[in-house]
Every structure is written in structure tokens, then in C-alpha cells.
């Protein structure tokens, strides 16, 4: 785990650059856990269904790119070492989701979103600003973001073809992990965002989902 006792500010900046490259370059993020899809048999999907599921998984993959950037930005500016470590640990777990989604997209004949670098940069900036404001706001932003992710996952699970057990296994495990991240952030002292702020986040998330479904 990264800590200030071992790394200078320059070192941490270099580590952030490395994290960005590992997030954005194809197949560069190595998962800590095997994909839950590995335990499921592949099914034959009609071309239209495969394209739709690939689009859904592309949305989720971009969501994980945003999560990586958000956590990395927050870790860079977090004041308390324990908060920084919590952000870095969450980012490690999100790498699993990133790799699982990318693998599934490729299996379905698709590719990750071309907009990922843009969303990474925006999310990193938001995370860094949240960390500068306060650790309480930063943790609250994590909880609110994970709530949005869970809602997307529920919508996507409802749209999956019944026979696509591979995609379902991935999204179900992601949902479980995201719920835990939200709970952990609140228990660590995260601010519970008011409804208007959450509504604004919902509108922004819709921009991401609509744009990355095809791009």
C-alpha cells in the first residue's frame, strides 16, 4: 500500500501517471481476482443481442475507468493517511471490474469506449477537488458515486439475455463490491449528499452512459 512515509510527492505523481496508463491501455490492468465469468459456459447470442450486451459492458467498463480516476485523484489529495489508503485499496478492487468488463467486451466482439481518456481526466479532476475540500466530502462522493453505479448495474442486469450467464456473473459480483465500497465510505465518515446533488450526479451519469453505449 502506498504511503507518504515511503513515497515523495514526485514519486506519487509518477505512480498516478502509471495508474492512468494501466487504466487506459488495453489489457494493461491485471485483476487481483479471477473473473466470475470463468466459471460460466459461453452461450451463443444473436448478433443484435451481442451488440447490445457489448454496449452495456462498455458502459460499465467506462464506469470503472471513472472509478479508477476518481479514487486516484482522491488519494492524491486526501489529508488523512487512512483515507488515502482506503482510496488506494478501493482502486485496487476496481481494477478487477475493469479487467473483467474489458475481457467480456472483447469476447462479445466489441471494444472499450473511445471516450475513456476524456472521462478519466474529468473524473480524476473531480476526485482531486473533492479530496482538497475535505476527506469527509471525498468519502461522501465515493458513496454517492457507488450508489449511482449500483443503479446502473441493476438496470443492466434486467436487460441481459437470460442465457448470458457470463455477463450476469460479472455484473452481480460488481454490484456486491460497489455496495460494500459505498457502505465503507459512509462508515469512515463520508458525508451523505443531499438529494439535489445526487440528482445532478444522475444527470451527468446519463451523459456518460448515452455516449459510451456506441462510442
What are the structural domain ranges in the chain?
A: 9-30+45-212
Q: How many CA atoms lie within 13 A of 212 on its CB side?
A: 30
pLDDT score for 17: 67
Is residue 89 annotated as involved in ligand binding? no
Q: Where does the pLDDT of residue 3 fall: very low under 50, low under 70, confident under 90, or very high at 90 and above?
A: very low
pLDDT score for 156: 93
- Is the pLDDT at 208 greater than 60? The verdict is yes
Please identify which residue in the block is written with the cell numbers 463490491. Answer: 177
Is residue 61 annotated as involved in ligand binding? no
Find, among 187, 69, 189, the residue nearest to 128 by Cα.
Answer: 69
Residues 86-93 have a mean pLDDT of: 68
Number of neighbouring beta carbons within 10 Å of residue 11:
12
pLDDT score for 87: 66
pLDDT score for 200: 78
- Is the pLDDT at 64 greater than 80? The verdict is yes
Find, among 52, 74, 51, 50, the residue nearest to 146 by Cα.
Answer: 74
Q: Mean pLDDT over all residues of the chain? A: 81
Number of neighbouring beta carbons within 10 Å of residue 158:
7
pLDDT score for 83: 64
Q: Where does the pLDDT of residue 123 fall: very low under 50, low under 70, confident under 90, or very high at 90 and above?
A: confident
Q: How far apart are CA 83 and CA 81, in angstroms?
A: 5
- Is the pLDDT at 29 greater than 70? The verdict is no
Is residue 64 annotated as involved in ligand binding? yes
Q: How far apart are CA 90 and CA 105, in angstroms?
A: 23
pLDDT score for 41: 86
- Is the pLDDT at 31 greater than 70? The verdict is yes
Is residue 181 annotated as involved in ligand binding? yes
Residues 66-85 have a mean pLDDT of: 73
Is residue 102 annotated as involved in ligand binding? no
The interaxial angle of helices 47-77 and 165-187, nearest 10 deg, is 20
Q: How far apart are CA 127 and CA 108, in angstroms?
A: 32
pLDDT score for 207: 81
Please identify which residue in the block is written with the cell numbers 482510496. Answer: 87
Residue 33 is given by DSSP the state S
Q: What is the CA radius of gyration of the chain?
A: 17
Is residue 4 annotated as involved in ligand binding? no
Q: How far apart are CA 175 and CA 186, in angstroms?
A: 17
What's the predicted TM-score (pTM) here? 0.81
Instruction: Please tell me the class of the 9-30+45-212 domain.
Output: mainly alpha
Decide if 171 contacts 157 (C-beta within 8 A). Answer: yes
Amino acid at each position: 500500500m502506498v504511503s507518504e512515509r515511503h513515497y515523495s510527492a514526485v514519486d506519487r505523481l509518477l505512480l498516478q501517471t502509471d495508474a492512468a496508463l494501466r487504466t487506459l491501455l488495453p489489457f494493461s490492468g491485471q485483476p487481483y481476482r479471477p473473473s466470475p465469468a470463468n466459471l460460466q459456459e459461453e452461450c451463443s447470442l444473436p448478433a443484435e443481442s451481442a451488440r447490445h450486451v457489448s454496449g452495456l459492458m462498455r458502459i460499465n467498463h467506462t464506469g470503472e475507468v471513472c472509478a479508477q480516476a476518481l479514487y486516484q485523484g482522491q488519494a492524491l489529495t486526501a489529508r488523512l493517511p487512512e483515507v488515502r489508503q482506503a482510496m488506494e485499496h478501493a482502486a485496487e478492487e476496481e481494477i478487477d471490474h475493469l479487467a473483467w468488463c474489458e475481457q467480456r467486451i472483447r469476447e462479445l466482439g466489441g471494444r472499450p469506449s473511445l471516450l475513456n481518456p476524456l472521462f478519466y481526466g474529468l473524473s480524476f479532476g473531480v476526485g482531486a477537488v473533492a479530496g482538497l475540500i475535505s476527506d469527509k466530502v471525498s468519502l461522501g462522493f465515493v458513496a454517492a458515486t457507488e450508489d449511482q453505479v449500483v443503479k446502473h448495474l441493476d438496470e443492466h442486469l434486467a436487460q441481459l439475455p437470460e442465457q448470458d450467464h457470463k455477463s450476469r456473473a460479472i455484473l452481480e459480483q460488481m454490484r456486491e463490491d460497489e455496495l460494500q465500497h459505498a457502505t465503507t465510505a459512509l462508515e469512515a465518515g463520508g458525508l451523505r449528499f443531499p438529494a439535489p446533488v445526487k440528482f445532478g450526479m444522475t444527470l451527468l451519469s446519463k451523459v456518460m452512459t448515452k455516449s459510451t453505449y456506441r462510442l
